[in-house]
Amino acid sequence: MQANKDSDGGWRTFVWNSEKKEFLGRTGSSWLKIFLFYVIFYGCLAGIFIGTIQALLLTLSNYKPTYQDRVAPPGLSHTPRSEKSEIAFSLSDASSYKKYTDAMTKFLKKYDDDKQTDQMKFEDCGGKCQLMPERFLKCRDTNCAVCCSLAHVVTLLRMSLSLCFQPPMNNSVEEFLLPKLKPNLIPIFCKNKREEDADKIGEIKFFGLGEGFPLQYYPYYGKLLHPQYLQPLVAIQFNNLTLNEELRIECKVFGENIGYSEKDRYQGRFDVKFNIAS
Amino acid sequence: MGYGRSDSYRVATTQDKDDRSPKKKKGAKDMDDLKKEVPITEHKMSIEEVCRKYQTDIVQGLTNAKAAEYLIRDGPNALTPPPTTPEWVKFCRQLFGGFSVLLWTGAILCFLAYAIQAATEDDPAGDNLYLGIVLTAVVVITGCFSYFQEAKSSKIMESFKNMVPQQALVIREGEKVQINAEEVVGGDLVEVKGGDRIPADIRVVSAHGCKVDNSSLTGESEPQSRSPDCTHDNPLETRNIAFFSTNCVEGTARGIVICTGDNTVMGRIATLTSGLETGKTPIAKEIEHFIHIITGVAVFLGLTFFILAIVLGYSWLEAVIFLIGIIVANVPEGLLATVTVCLTLTAKRMAKKNCLVKNLEAVETLGSTSTICSDKTGTLTQNRMTVAHMWFDNQIHEADTTEDQSGASFDKSSITWISLARVAALCNRAQFKAGQDQLPILKRDVAGDASESALLKCIELSCGSVRAMRDRNKKVAEIPFNSTNKYQLSVHETEDLNDNRYLLVMKGAPERVLECCSTILVQGKEQPLDEELKEAFQNAYMELGGLGERVLGFCHVLLPEDQYPKGFAFDTDDVNFQTKDLCFVGLMSMIDPPRAAVPDAVGKCRSAGIKVIMVTGDHPITAKAIAKGVGIISEGNETVEDIAARLNIPVSQVNPRDAKACVCHGTDLKDLSQDQMDDILRNHTEIVFARTSPQQKLIIVEGCQRLGAIVAVTGDGVNDSPALKKADIGVAMGISGSDVSKQAADMILLDDNFASIVTGVEEGRLIFDNLKKSIAYTLTSNIPEITPFLLFIIVNIPLPLGTITILCIDLGTDMVPAISLAYEAAESDIMKRQPRNPFRDKLVNERLISIAYGQIGMIQALGGFFAYFVILAENGFLPTTLVGIRLNWDDRSCNDLEDTYGQQWTYEQRKIVEFTCHTAFFVSIVVVQWADVIICKTRRNSVFQQGMRNKILIFGLFEETALAAFLSYCPGMDVALRMYPLKPSWWFCAFPYSFLIFVYDEVRKLLIRRNPGGWVERETYY
């Protein structure tokens, strides 16, 4: 620093000292040596790191993660996704809901009929492999926008996958669910979150394999064992949502080992806001 | 980054110049003026001239009207108090000085980033805001801490006020009036008597046995007599001027006031002292350099990743936020606190060893010191005249001068010695003050002048009670010492009740006493004083004088009974008794002896490569003798004069380069140019400056600093205070030191022991080394803290380490281990190496950064990442899946994110895993920091050589581990800090890396030890 003080071009000589042939205070060979050192040093470090990662991979099973305590209980998610848990668009403005219909179309590609035709991959399940609600598929085939514009808002539900998660067989839980209970089905129930919205929701229709997720799809054994696995979906259609109002709707799946959390709003349930302008 | 650093520095300095040059020029001129010698000329004028100059009258004094007029013109006779810095300014200085700047910048950047986020995003992440708040809090808290620390250690007295005399006796219009000393004006005729403080600088017009104590002004411990005659050209040396705020010890004097208030000699010194601007402390400079490096690295990294982010397709705004984030991540939040605490701990340790440090930053300065300018009187010496040698029986005997009487003794059986002791005891007016019987003799207070006290103590020590002896030999008559006779005599009755003869005893200047003698006492027998004995006397006298000692001659005679029968009336005014043909007994010589611990301390300073220069107001001979006595001029080293004397050639023919030692007189110093001064300081290793004025002391200090030395000044008098203030570190004496000197100093030796300086040097060097280690330790964890963010940006993985966890490391787990390094013992004998070169040996250099950031830090980062990958992989996200996952991962609406196995994660679920990763990364850093603190214990030695004796460090290891476990497992932490409990196996992920760090560094240090000066040392020894 002292040198800098004395001569005006202090830093310039620091950058390139032609007298000693020094660049940034080091000669070429000095730079080369330190550079080589760091190359070798980091090379060794990288080797050690890769070695430890390999050791880590050796301890992992290909079929099942070591710990699953964080991923259970399963979450409940919906397509199209909400933004800040809100689905809002205007019926008169096609561009406002285009992202939702696009997301839906993209999502449903996996479920295309032609992909489900390979009998080798899809075990015969007695005609129940057709996962998609017919009406919904029709809607998609013609024009989803029409569905939307009819204020028939459709959301697809699916339960998050968790390896080897086996939902309970007898889910005799809450009384109001009893009429809906069907064997081999995990029940779903949607209702208004706020009391005052009770009469603004209108009719909710469920499509798919009943009002719930069929049990025969569980447990899921992971990508390796279940490469062609398709997740069961349930479509819900709101036929008569009140327009121009913010409506909060909560959907829940029920089961003995399906839990809910205050903090995680997608664990076993979700609630979403609809705000549909005319 | 070198560019940025040096450039900013240059700009800063030039701006500085531009801003202040006009003001400074004027200030500098004033200061130069003050540095010149005192412009008093009145001492050379006749009394009439002085009266004319001040329009006063030698009998009547000033008229009241004139006095009032002068008072209005010159202002009150008081010193302008030094401008005190208001408390809030001191506080702000703590708040915005040194490291704080770095943290403030960081905090401001954080707030800026948050503001940008808040303005552009709907739901900004609070991280930057929290970080900003925490940074601010850290600065404020540490600022308060060091403010109170300093306030506690600097309870400085309002010293100048105490020194102003309260009342003065002036003669105005022919009447004596007692007035407030502040109202004294130039031309006033004042009267002072023993015990008074001199109210202003006065030209003495008449005096009766007046003696003043000038020690606080000139450093001479001996009271000086005052008389109306001009005895010297130098106003400080002449006898006819008495100085403001010195004490009149005895006698009376009358004089005309020539200077008042700030114009007095004392006032000029005070103004000079308070006007001096002191530079930055070495540690402050080091910290500044450190900030340059850190800023350089931060800006370099920030800009690199800014460009990278732009290339990778991030938006400008995101890139700017990344830039700020990276710069802030480089700020070592905990370091300010660590450094403050380390310095405080050392200050406390030094206070225990009687070094009180007033300014925290000065703790280290002694360690960097390369030159010590020491005052003699009171610092190197005991400031107490003591009998050092005696000459009797034609032989020189050495007396014990040590403070605790542990030195050699001499043969006390000789009859001559008994006679000599009797003469010294009887012909002596000094006596012990009452009520000190329990105290050791040397510690007792004595009423009387310095040399008589010395004799009194010497006799009391070797022959028992002097009072009893005096009682047995009643005093009959006495002629006190005066400068014409140059001797003092008294007549006593003899001890033997049957012997009616009177005993006449005399002491005085040896040549005068010898003149009065015709015989000499040898082995108890009176022998005629022949030429041979006279020559022996001369030789002894010369030898003792050459030792810088004050020599007194003693003689006695038993007056014949026939001429002086019992009851003879001795007339001391018109001497009616024999003062010739006495019997010479011996010589006694006195010196202010060096303190016992000083030679050893000087030796230690020498071996520590510190040049010790003596700067004293005392006479050259005494100064040289003491310098030789304490080793400032070491044995065998000669001055130019010594060489000339040895070779018997004129001084001018001696090559000055041959002489290592040099004794420089103040009057010579006056005529020296700056270059000549530099020459002296550069070419002589052992220098003594004698008869120096306060201004010259200052010039000497400045000279040393000009040559690049870091200068410590020790002193106790007012005359030392400008030098004390100007020095890089001023060390004042706690007991004997004047308040002014204490105020000007940075450090106070509470026990006045020069040897404490050695402690200071040792502690200062140790803390410098240990601060290096502390900083190396703290900086290392910066890399594992910042790389997660970098990878987050570049390869789009979920963030491995969050802001909160970073703060937990910097302000939590890293603190105690970093501080514990301050307790580390020295690796080698730090007192055997040269002082550090402030231009080369930096606190933080590129090598430290290279080691901390480039090597150890990288290994640490890998340890953290390994833990991160382990946790994610064991939960289902293999490393390959992670790359590029970031956008979906951080998308709140994506609640079905698939992992490697096909499981789907809700946002909250995967965030919990992410925060578990943060916790694991944090714990891993703690684990690798174990190894880091152990390797930072030493810079060269192996840990196995150094041992693990630092208990605080071991405590630190346990403490950081316990804290990490607490943060991870304490219930509620998931809500409070978003830290989650770890599975036990995750604690061990970083263990291999911790071990790797240890082995790597041990090998590195082994290479350093094996190949001194080799490539490894040149590149990695910090």
Each residue's pLDDT tens digit, A174-215: 556 666 666 777 778 888 888 887 777 777 777 666 667 777
| Residues making up chain B, counted from first to last | 1022
B711-729 pLDDT, tens per residue? 999 988 788 888 998 999 9
First to last CA, chain A: 71
Between the alpha carbon of residue B33 and those of residues B77, B271, B768, the distances in Å are 21, 11, 38
Q: What average pLDDT does range B829-858 have in this prediction?
A: 90
Percent of chain B's residues with pLDDT above 90 = 24
Residues of B in contact with A43 (CB under 8 A): none
Cα dihedral: A178, A180, A184, A190 (round 10): -110
Query: What proportion of chain A, given as a percentage, has pLDDT over 70?
Result: 67
Binned at pLDDT 50, 70 and 90, residue B12 comes out as very low
CA distance B500 to B497: 7
Residue B993 confidence (pLDDT): 95
Is B930 near chain A, with CB under 8 Å? no
- When pLDDT is cut at 50, 70 and 90, the band that residue A126 belongs to is very low
Q: Which residue has the higher pLDDT, B868 or B660?
A: B868
Probe site for chain A from B909, B988, B999, B1017 (most A CB atoms < 10 A): B909
CB nearest A161 (choices: B855, B904, B992): B904
CA distance A134 to chain B (A): 24
Where are the alpha helices (H) located in B312-372, listed in sequence order? Answer: 316-329, 335-352, 362-368
CB B473 within 8 A of CB B428: no
pLDDT of A264 > 70? The answer is yes
User: In the prediction, which pLDDT does B795 show?
Assistant: 92
Mutate to test the interface with A, among B285, B797, B837, B895 (most CBs of A within 10 A): B895
Nearest to B895 among A64, A75, A261 (CB): A75
- The region of weakest confidence among B130-139, B409-418, B665-674, B928-937 is B409-418
Minimal-distance CA residue of chain A relative to B12: A5
Q: What angle do CA B118, B120, B123 make, to 5 degrees?
A: 55
Residue B1's pLDDT is 33
Six-digit token string for B733: 């004496």
Interatomic CA distance for residues B730 and B715, integer angstroms: 8
pLDDT digits 0-9 by tens, A31-62: 899 999 999 999 999 999 999 999 999 999 88
Which of the given ranges, A138-147, A200-209, B141-150, B415-424, has the highest pLDDT on average? B415-424
Cβ-Cβ contacts under 8 Å, B905 against chain A: 71, 75, 160
pLDDT exceeds cutoff 80 at B679: yes
**Among chain B residues, CA nearest to A225:** B901
Closest residue in chain B to residue A271, using alpha carbons only: B893
The answer, for B286 touching chain A at a CB cutoff of 8 Å, is no
What is the rounded average pLDDT of the residues B34-40?
67
- Residue A157: what pLDDT? 66
> 């040896």: which residue's tokens?
B510
Tokens of B88: 């809030």
Chain B nearest-CA distance from A153, in A, is 18
**Which residue of chain A comes nearest to B997, CA vs CA?**
A45
Residue B895: its chain A contacts at CB < 8 A?
Answer: 75, 77, 81, 160, 266, 270
| Range with top average pLDDT, B233-242, B446-455, B695-704 | B695-704
Q: Token match 């980062």: residue? A: B861
pLDDT band at A9 (very low <50, low <70, confident <90, very high): low
Cα distances (Å, whole numbers) of residue B945 to A138, B939, B1003? 82, 12, 14
Q: Which amino acid is at A244?
A: N
Q: How confident is the model at residue B439 (pLDDT cuts 50, 70, 90)?
A: confident
Determine the distance in angstroms separating the CA of B246 from the nearest CA of chain A, rounded to an integer. Answer: 44
User: Which amino acid would we find at residue B665?
Assistant: H
Nearest Cα to Cα of residue B347 among B153, B213, B132, B74: B153
Query: Which of A10, A81, A160 has the CB atom closest to B893's CB atom?
Result: A81
Return the pLDDT at A154: 60
Cross-chain CB nearest to A71 (options B2, B907, B909): B909
Cβ-contact B702, B249 below 8 angstroms? no
- Chain B CB contacts of A261 under 8 Å are 908
The residue to which tokens 């020029």 are assigned? B25
Question: Chain A residue with minimal CA distance to B5?
Answer: A11
**Which residues of chain A are within 8 Å of residue B2 when distances are taken between CB atoms?**
11, 14-15, 24-25
Dist CA A197 CA A250 (whole Å): 12
Partner residue opposite A2 with nearest CB, options B839, B862, B901: B839
Nearest Cα neighbor of B229 from B512, B572, B484 is: B484
What pLDDT is recorded for position B195? 75
Give kind and range of the element (H or E) at residue B398: strand B395-398
At residue A77, φ and ψ (nearest 5 deg) are -125, 165
- Using a CB-CB cut-off of 8 Å, the residues of chain A touching B1004 are none
Q: Which helix (H) or strand (E) holds B203?
A: strand B201-213
Q: Which residue of A has its CA nearest to B863?
A: A49
pLDDT at A122: 43
Dump the DSSP string for B914-935.
HHHHHHHHHHHHHHHHHHHHHH
Average pLDDT over residues B316-326: 85
Least confident of B2-11, B307-316, B591-600, B932-941: B2-11
Looking at residue B934, its pLDDT comes to: 95
Q: Who wins on pLDDT, B45 or A134?
A: B45
Q: How far is B862 from chain A (nearest CA, A)?
A: 7
The closest CB to that of A56, out of B289, B870, B901, belongs to B870
Among all residues of B, which ones are annotated catalytic? 375
Lowest-pLDDT range, A3-7, B205-209, B841-845, B890-894? A3-7
User: Cα separation of A4 and A96, whole Å?
Assistant: 62
Closest CB to B906 among A45, A60, A266: A266
| Residue type (1 letter), B524 | G
Q: What is the pLDDT of residue A131?
A: 41
- Amino acid at position B752, single letter: D
List the alpha helices (DSSP H) in chain A.
2-6, 10-15, 28-59, 94-108, 134-142, 144-149, 222-225
pLDDT higher at B166 or B829: B829
Question: Mean pLDDT, to the nearest integer, of B95-117?
Answer: 84
| CB of B905 less than 8 A from some CB of A | yes
State the Cα–Cα distance between residues B852 and B844, nearest whole angstrom.
Answer: 11
Chain A residues within an 8 Å CB radius of B909: 70-71, 75, 264, 267
Provide, rounded to the nearest whole percent, the portion of chain B with pLDDT above 70: 93
Identify the pLDDT of residue B720: 86
Q: What average pLDDT does the segment B862-880 reach?
A: 94
Q: What are the φ and ψ backbone dihedral angles of B166, each rounded to 5 degrees?
A: -80, -45
ipTM for the predicted complex: 0.86
- Substitution target from A8, A23, A48, A49 for chain B, most B beta carbons within 10 A: A49
Using a CB-CB cut-off of 8 Å, the residues of chain B touching A83 are: 893
Is the pLDDT higher at A168 or at A35? A35
Distances in Å between the Cα of B139 and the Cα atoms of A207, B108, B132, B817, B819 are 62, 12, 11, 20, 17
Q: Indicate the SS3 state at residue B180.
A: strand
CB interface of B with A, residues 161-200, below 8 Å: none
Q: Which of A89-103, A174-188, B888-902 has the lowest mean pLDDT?
A: A174-188
Kindly indicate the confidence band of residue B32, based on its pLDDT and cuts at 50, 70 and 90: low
Instruction: Give the tokens for residue A175.
Output: 């009384």
CB pair distance less than 8 Å for A4 and B1015: no
What is the pLDDT averaged over residues B396-425? 79
What's the pLDDT score for residue B788? 93
| C-beta of residue B282 within 8 angstroms of C-beta of residue B710 | yes
Tokens 């390959």 label which residue? B880
Do A10 and B6 lie within an 8 Å CB cutoff? yes
pLDDT of the residue at A137: 44
pLDDT at res. A146: 37
